[in-house]
Amino acid sequence: MRRRSRGDGNMPLLEHVLALRKVLVIAAYAIAIGTVLGWFFSDQTFAYLAHPVTRLKNITFITTTPMEPMLVKLKVSLLVGVTLALPVILWQVWAFILPALKQNERKYLYLVVPSSLLLFICGAALCFFVVLPVGIKFLLYAGGGAVQSTPFVTKTSYLGFLITFLGTFGLVFQLPIVLLILIRIGLLSPRTLAKKRRWALLIIIILAAIISPTPDLFTQFLMAAPMYLLFEISIWLGYIVARKRAKALAASEN
C-alpha cells in the first residue's frame, strides 16, 4: 500500500473512506488466502492445539452433529488464515494511520504497537504451555471420584474454549501498556500505584473472577498471579516513564 503524504490530514472525507476501503479489501484478501493455505494444515494445527487434552488418559474427542468436523476444520483454517495474514493487516493499518500522526506521536506508536503485540503473544504462550494443561486436567478430573464417569469433549466446545482462553490471557497482558500510557499522560503516578497495592490486588482478584473463562478458583488464581506480577513491573517501569515526563515538561518550560 502506497503511503499517503503528510498533507493527508486535509484530504476530503471521501478519499479517507476510499483509503480505508482499500485497507479492508487488502486485509480481507490476505485472510482469504491465508485461510485457503490453512485448510491444508488444519488437521495438523488442530492436533497440535488439542495436545493439552489428547495427552491426558481416558479423554476422547467426540462430534455431536454431522457438520461438526467440517465446521471445526473451517474454524481452524480461518484461525490459521488470520494468523498468517496478521503481518499484512498490521502493515495496512500502520500505513493508513501513520501519515496522520505527528513525529512525537509516531515515536510512541513505534514503542506501543510492538510491545503490545509481544505482550499478547507472551500471554497466549503462558496460557497454552503452562496454564491450559494444568487447568484442563483440573477441570476434567475435578469431582470425578464422586461418580464414575468418562469425560468426553467435543471439538467445537474445546476450540471455542481455547480461543477464549488464549484471547483473555493475551488481553490481560496488556495491563502494563495501559498503566504506562496513563502514567505518561499524567492521569496516574507510580507512587499512587505503589500506595494502592492492596486495592490493586483486590481489584485484580475480582477482575480475574469476572473475565476467567471458567468459574473454578484454580484457573482464576492462575490468571490473577500474572496480572499482579505485571502490575508490579508496571510500577517500576512507571518510575522511568514519570522521570522522562518530568524532564520533558521541564525542558518545555525552559
pLDDT in tens, 201-217: 999 999 888 877 667 77
Per the domain annotation, does 144 fall within a domain? no
pLDDT class for 103, splitting at 50, 70, 90?
Answer: confident
Average predicted confidence (pLDDT) for the chain? 84
Cell (9 digits) for 116: 503490545
The Cα 52–Cα 72 span in angstroms is 17
Q: Long-range contact list for 85-88, CB < 8 A, 24+ apart? A: 85/27, 85/30, 85/31, 85/33, 85/34, 88/26, 88/27, 88/30
pLDDT class for 228, splitting at 50, 70, 90?
Answer: very high
Higher pLDDT, 160 or 145: 160
What pLDDT does residue 217 have? Answer: 79
What pLDDT does residue 6 have? Answer: 47
Per the domain annotation, does 41 fall within a domain? yes
What pLDDT does residue 213 have? Answer: 66
Per the domain annotation, does 49 fall within a domain? yes
User: What pTM does this model have?
Assistant: 0.80
The Cα 128–Cα 161 span in angstroms is 12
Q: How many independent structural domains does the chain possess?
A: 1
Per the domain annotation, does 26 fall within a domain? yes
Per the domain annotation, does 108 fall within a domain? yes
Per the domain annotation, does 146 fall within a domain? no
Cell 474454524 -> residue: 75
pLDDT higher than 70, residue 229: yes
Per the domain annotation, does 20 fall within a domain? yes
Question: Containing domain of residue 192, as a range?
Answer: 13-136+152-253
What pLDDT does residue 149 have? Answer: 67
What pLDDT does residue 18 have? Answer: 85
pLDDT higher than 60, residue 143: no
Per the domain annotation, does 217 fall within a domain? yes
What pLDDT does residue 147 have? Answer: 58
Does residue 121 contact residue 170 with C-beta atoms inside 8 Å? yes
What pLDDT does residue 33 have? Answer: 96
